[in-house]
Amino acid sequence: MITVEDLVKDFGPKRAVNRVSFSVQKGEILGFLGPNGAGKSTTMRMITGFFPPTSGRVVVGGHDIGENPIPAKRLIGYLPESAPCYSDMTVHGFLAFAAEMRGLHGAAREQAIQRVVGLCFLESVLHQSVDTLSKGFRHRTCLAQSLIHDPPILVLDEPTDGLDPNQKHEIRQLLKRFGRDKAIIFSTHILEEVDAVCSRAIIIDRGQVVANGTPAELRARHELAGSVSLRVQGTAAETVRTKLHALPAAGRVVVQGDAATVTARVYPRDKPVNGDLARSLSELAQREGWRLDELRTEEGRLDDVFRSITRPETAKGAE
């Protein structure tokens, strides 16, 4: 549904987006991550035809957005960054305007408004002027605008920005539901959102794609991913160390503590990892009669992966 090929955007001497390529299919929810100024909004603006790329190409539903903008834009619902709305309109007036722009008139227009007002929880502010709305309601009004024509493609620049935790949850649920039969790309700084919603995530840094994978694949890039930590009571650290080293599934072993409490982290000998290491550690503890009061497999933390990929110099000593 969306194909981005070798996209470049220069602002004067500054290259904001540098040879970005990816695609999003129907049924996919792509999370777009990256530090402030990485080029997320700029990429989204080019995808939606807000401005042209310096070079490269965007194809939306088979239409080149530069050569054939009208049919391409018909397919897209776009929530721009910081949710711009016409502030002197009421919420209903603004949504009616958005509906008319999308070619919906009369009963179809009112039906479309009703639908998005329900989806974005705007009933209580329908006749309020946009400039008197709180930030979250203003954001939801702009999100409602992007959904008004029920487009097959959504490009949402920080759709949960400024929402309270309940609304964040509701909007994530909405995205998940829409994600079944639409192609969605959305940017976010909330990494738990990636886990909760995305089928795939792209991390962009200084204009370039630095990671592209499922949330699980990204987590697996964490240096601790797949390692198992355990805490043993009443066995000498040296004994624990020797036994752990002798385990065929174990790679590097780090043991700390004394006889009262020994904590250890065991890294798998081979990657990729499944539950093998944890299972053999648990069997070892049983065989040796260790008093085990913790055994935990580290799945990898997305925020550490994000930091190590986008700011290598600050990622040291993450444990």
Ligand X SMILES: Nc1ncnc2c1ncn2[C@@H]1O[C@H](COP(=O)(O)OP(=O)(O)OP(=O)(O)O)[C@@H](O)[C@H]1O
- Note the residues at the interface with ligand X (CB under 6 A): 11, 16, 34, 36-42, 81
C-alpha–C-alpha distance, residues 54 and 306, integer Å? 28
Minimum Å gap between C-beta 43 and ligand X is: 7
Does residue 48 belong to the site contacting Mg ion (CB under 5 A)? no
C-alpha–C-alpha distance, residues 139 and 160, integer Å? 8
Do 20 and 47 meet the contact criterion of CB atoms below 8 Å apart? no
What is the bridge-based pairing of β-strands 14-24 and 2-11? antiparallel
Q: Give the count of residues interacting with Mg ion (CB under 5 A).
A: 3
Dump strand ranges (E) for the chain.
Answer: 2-11, 14-24, 29-33, 55-60, 63-64, 76-79, 153-157, 183-187, 200-205, 208-213, 228-233, 250-257, 261-268, 291-297
Minimum Å gap between C-beta 54 and ligand X is: 12
Query: Cβ-closest residue to Mg ion?
Result: 41
C-alpha–C-alpha distance, residues 114 and 121, integer Å? 10
- How far, in whole angstroms, is CA 215 from its chain's centroid? 8
- Binding partner selected for residue 49 from Mg ion, ligand X, none, CB under the kind-specific 5 to 8 Å limit: none
Options 74-82, 89-97, 259-267, 290-298: segment touching Mg ion (CB under 5 A): 74-82
Q: Closest Cα partner for 23 from 75, 60, 64?
A: 60
DSSP 228: E
Options 75-83, 113-121, 188-196, 291-299: segment touching Mg ion (CB under 5 A): 75-83
Of 40 and 63, the one with the shorter C-beta distance to Mg ion is 40
- Binding partner selected for residue 39 from Mg ion, ligand X, none, CB under the kind-specific 5 to 8 Å limit: ligand X
Of 56 and 300, the one with the shorter C-beta distance to ligand X is 56
Minimum Å gap between C-beta 157 and Mg ion is: 6
Of 50 and 121, the one with the shorter C-beta distance to ligand X is 50
Phi, psi of 90 (to 5 degrees): -80, 170
Does residue 41 belong to the site contacting Mg ion (CB under 5 A)? yes
Minimum Å gap between C-beta 24 and ligand X is: 18
Of 82 and 233, the one with the shorter C-beta distance to Mg ion is 82
Of 43 and 145, the one with the shorter C-beta distance to Mg ion is 43
